């Protein structure tokens, strides 16, 4: 199996197989990720096209990476934010400057769909509701995507200390309602599994 570093280097050096491989390996992932920020499918598709057009255009000047998915997410998120900003009109000028993701975890959806909840499940649901959109997003990158703080800072345009504080505050909020063991189980079984982490 070709590594991300090898695949990316081959793309940068013009190997014909590399671009289609990168594109088809990530297009659905990027689309589902974009749906967390916008319900406008056309804006998401246009942003994906812009992203790959720019990658092709600047291919020879691209830096190295050993994590293509992270590279694409970081670039795509910036482009999507700009495209969403372009849609702001006098009617929605109050839109937040910070692009918020609607992160719904798989277990959270299961709780929403369930007719009757146990006391423990109600606590989990309440704890997740207490998280801000930004806290949900940063926990998503940290624990679901397994990105380190440097990568999170790049994606969300945060300083290192700020990223760590955001994670700390989010976990502190969860601990207000849940035990450490419950939080551990939440990250193991309740957060979206990596294989389907962006499934709608």
Name the token pair of 103.
């992160």
Contacts for 78-81 with beta carbons within 8 Å, 24 or more apart? 79/47, 79/50, 79/51, 79/54, 80/34, 80/37, 80/38, 80/43, 80/44, 80/47, 81/37
pLDDT tens for each residue of 141-177: 887 788 899 999 999 888 999 999 988 888 888 777 7
Give the Å distances, CA to CA, from 107 to 22, 41, 173. Answer: 30, 25, 18
Say what percent of the chain tops pLDDT 90: 40
- 103 exposed, middle or buried (CB, 10 Å; 0-12, 13-18, 19+)? buried
pLDDT tens-digit series, residues 55-71: 999 999 999 999 999 99
- The pLDDT-based confidence of 98 (bands split at 50, 70, 90) is low
Task: Report the range of poorest mean pLDDT among 36-50, 87-101, 138-152.
Answer: 87-101
Question: CA neighbours within 13 Å on the CB side: how many for 177?
Answer: 18
Q: Read off the pLDDT band of 124 (50, 70, 90).
A: low
And the tokens for 148?
């380190």
Mean pLDDT in residue range 66-84: 92
**From-to residues of CATH 1.10.1740.10 in the chain:** 4-92
Task: Kindly report, as residue ranges, where domains of CATH 1.10.10.10 are found in the chain.
Answer: 106-196
Pick among 1.10.1740.10, 1.10.274.50, 2.20.28.270, 3.40.50.410: CATH of 4-92: 1.10.1740.10
Cβ count within 10 A of residue 89: 8
CA 77 to chain centre: 8
Other C-beta atoms within 10 Å of 155: how many? 21
CA-based nearest residue to 139, from 169, 107, 117, 106: 169
Closest CA to 187 of 104, 107, 119, 102: 107
Residue 22 has pLDDT above 60, yes or no: yes
**51: its two tokens:** 């992203």
- Total-model pTM: 0.70
Q: How many Cβ atoms from other residues are within 10 Å of residue 13's Cβ?
A: 10
Sign of CA dihedral 145, 149, 154, 159: positive
pLDDT category at 88 given cuts 50, 70, 90 is low
Per CATH, the number for 106-196 is 1.10.10.10
Identify the CA nearest to 156 among candidates 132, 176, 191: 132
């Amino acid at each position: 199996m070709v590594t991300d570093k090898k695949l990316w280097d081959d793309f940068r050096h013009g190997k014909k197989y590399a671009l289609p491989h990168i594109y088809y390996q990530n297009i659905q992932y990027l689309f589902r990720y974009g749906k967390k920020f916008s319900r406008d499918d056309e804006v998401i598709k246009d942003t994906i096209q812009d992203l790959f057009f720019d990658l092709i255009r600047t291919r020879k000047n691209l830096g190295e990476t050993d994590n293509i998915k992270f590279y694409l997410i970081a670039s795509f998120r910036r482009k999507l934010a700009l495209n969403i900003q372009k849609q702001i009109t006098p009617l929605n000028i109050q839109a937040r400057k910070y692009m918020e993701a609607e992160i719904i975890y798989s277990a959270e959806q299961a709780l929403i769909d369930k007719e009757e909840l146990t006391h423990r499940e109600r606590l989990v649901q309440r704890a997740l509701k207490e998280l801000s959109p930004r806290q949900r997003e940063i926990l998503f990158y940290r624990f679901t995507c397994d990105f380190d703080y440097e990568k999170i800072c790049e994606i969300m345009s945060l300083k290192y200390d700020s990223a760590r504080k955001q994670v700390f505050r989010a976990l502190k909020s969860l601990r207000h309602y849940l035990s450490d063991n419950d939080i551990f189980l939440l990250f193991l079984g309740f957060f979206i599994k990596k294989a389907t982490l962006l499934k709608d």
